[in-house]
Chains A and B, each alone.
Chain A
């Protein structure tokens, strides 16, 4: 029995039919104005070049993009940084969640582990910029642990600069996955676990054979949400590395920002935006439908 099937008084059938659309219209129109209109604008802008006087160049921007090593590097960086970061965050969050979810102190652990997430990402980026490079804290800690490398310049090599970005993101955002996983594990039926334990199953086999498979839809949703954020990583790049060394930490988001707002080449940046837009729209449509449908209906 649905609400709409109960007859309404004082309303014409046409209005009754239109009612849900009227409720949705303001939100949908608002969202279209920031997704559809910008999308169309970006496509149009990508076909022009110039800063003030615009010249039609057709698909030239895309052709240039295709042979631009800087663009491909930024795409590669985004994928490398993104996959390592997401994998680390997933493993740490799941490990911690597995240890904590039947712990009597779970609430206290949750609050402590949550704290890094509550700082603004820009503040966290400056904190790790200070810890790694400007304040030499990490170098000092490493040498106190007995490995003396002197003062390490973390911006000097690709691997180290990427490491800084990864640590920054993992430190701040592992809690996001952790909170979700703990809740999902706590929500599972205790009886099944108890029954398996009485049958002599070890804790590890209960976790991997029972708890983990039951969490699959939750894991998918959590990874989609976190993955989207990681793939569009911008703040730590802007604050900490700005692409150094030699563009090897430049993500796609930073490439677009730098091209549009530092080199003022909006046509060229728009071409990259359009490609990013198409990718995210396709990904969003498929991932969202696939993973959210079963979990939210």
Chain B
């Protein structure tokens, strides 16, 4: 039996307090999604509104939310796929070969994570303008992939380093080629790492705002930027639509994170913290 924490009552009170600070705004947000428009902004805030999903039909009719959702799904999953396609071979090279410049290349890849999006926003805008790709989900997909590639490479590299060499050496003496070893031994064995990298890349892509704002202007809106446009003249900002879309993106993220919850810290630190 694990020893209870000293002063555990005080500790529990602090933890419960923070839990409330996390949960109450989320509950309020949920109630916003579930209340009629005239109860959102009142002289005194309404904490127990009329709960109804009637406005959802109106929101659905006013805004192409299905399209926004599909745009997000295409751009995000496409970018994750691209990241894995480019990232797995790169991670394999960094984890398994000794060659000149390995460290420099590895750190170069990692350092792109530190790049400020605003610093490259103008060139990216001009680039996609010249490619005639502004306002397309493909441009979003390419940018998200570029943004997350460093994370994906480093997470997968960290999991590959954990695989013992003996298994590959045995396969190699049996005459298996390097690519076959990667495909048949390494990839199946570091699948948790690949899934972790994919989930984290997907969530970051879903969250992206600045690049999305400058690339998407009508047709390509994904959820993250679409909700910033939910306002209509005299209505002002339409918060129940925003809350609804907020939760539409929240639930998939929650499911994905529960799937990788034991790998989350390792994923967030790109493999530096195991556990």
Residues of A near any B CB (own CB < 8 A): 1-4, 6, 8-10, 17, 19-21, 23-24, 26-28, 30-31, 33-35, 37-39, 41-42, 45, 92, 95-96, 99-100, 102-104, 107, 109-116, 118-124, 126-131, 134-137, 140, 171, 176, 179-180, 182-184, 186-187, 203, 217-218, 221-222, 224-225, 228, 231-232, 234-235, 238-239, 252-254, 256-257, 260-261, 266, 269-270, 273-274, 276-277, 280-281, 283-285, 287-289, 292, 295-296
* Nearest-Cβ distance from residue A260 to partner chain B, whole angstroms: 5
Assess whether B65 is interfacial by the CB under 8 Å rule.
Answer: no
Asked whether B22 lies within 8 Å of A113 as measured between CB atoms, the reply is yes
Asked whether B90 lies within 8 Å of A118 as measured between CB atoms, the reply is no
Asked whether A28 lies within 8 Å of B268 as measured between CB atoms, the reply is no
Give how many B residues have a beta carbon under 8 Å from the other chain's beta carbons: 113
Residues of B near any A CB (own CB < 8 A): 2-8, 11, 14-15, 18-19, 21-23, 25-26, 28-29, 32, 40-41, 43-45, 85-87, 89-90, 92-94, 96-99, 102, 105, 107-127, 143, 145-146, 149-150, 153-154, 158, 165, 168-169, 172-173, 175, 177-178, 203, 206-207, 209-210, 213-214, 223-225, 227-228, 236-237, 239, 242-243, 245-246, 249-250, 253-254, 257-258, 261, 264-266, 268-275
Mostly helix, strand, loop or mixed at chain A's interface? helix
A20: chain B residues at CB < 8 Å are: 93, 97, 99, 102
A128: chain B residues at CB < 8 Å are: 25
Asked whether A285 lies within 8 Å of B105 as measured between CB atoms, the reply is no
Asked whether A130 lies within 8 Å of B32 as measured between CB atoms, the reply is yes
Asked whether A284 lies within 8 Å of B114 as measured between CB atoms, the reply is yes
Asked whether B108 lies within 8 Å of A296 as measured between CB atoms, the reply is no
Q: Can you give 29 A-B contacts (C-beta < 8 A)? A: A8-B177, A9-B175, A20-B93, A35-B120, A38-B127, A42-B120, A102-B2, A103-B11, A104-B2, A118-B203, A118-B257, A119-B253, A121-B224, A122-B225, A123-B29, A130-B32, A140-B44, A180-B269, A183-B275, A187-B273, A217-B272, A238-B209, A261-B121, A266-B122, A273-B118, A277-B115, A277-B119, A280-B116, A284-B114
Question: Which of A103, A120, A228, A234 contacts B223 (CB under 8 A)?
Answer: A120
A111: chain B residues at CB < 8 Å are: 258, 261
Asked whether B268 lies within 8 Å of A176 as measured between CB atoms, the reply is yes
Asked whether B116 lies within 8 Å of A253 as measured between CB atoms, the reply is yes
**Apart from A24-B90, A183-B264, A239-B228: 15 A-B pairs, beta carbons within 8 A:** A3-B165, A8-B172, A8-B177, A20-B97, A26-B89, A30-B145, A103-B8, A103-B11, A111-B258, A113-B18, A120-B249, A127-B25, A135-B40, A260-B122, A277-B115
Q: Given the complex of chains A and B, what is the CA–CA distance between A112 and B3 in angstroms?
A: 23
Asked whether B177 lies within 8 Å of A234 as measured between CB atoms, the reply is no
A288: chain B residues at CB < 8 Å are: 107, 110-111, 114
User: Known: A4-B98, A118-B253, A260-B121. Contact between A182 and B146, CB under 8 A?
Assistant: no
Asked whether B11 lies within 8 Å of A42 as measured between CB atoms, the reply is no
* Nearest-Cβ distance from residue A182 to partner chain B, whole angstroms: 7
Q: Given the complex of chains A and B, what is the CA–CA distance between A238 and B229 in angstroms?
A: 12
Asked whether A115 lies within 8 Å of B22 as measured between CB atoms, the reply is yes
Question: Which of A109, A217, A283 contacts B114 (CB under 8 A)?
Answer: A283
B111: chain A residues at CB < 8 Å are: 281, 284-285, 288
Asked whether B264 lies within 8 Å of A179 as measured between CB atoms, the reply is yes
Asked whether A231 lies within 8 Å of B14 as measured between CB atoms, the reply is no
Q: Given the complex of chains A and B, what is the CA–CA distance between A238 and B258 in angstroms?
A: 31
B206: chain A residues at CB < 8 Å are: 120
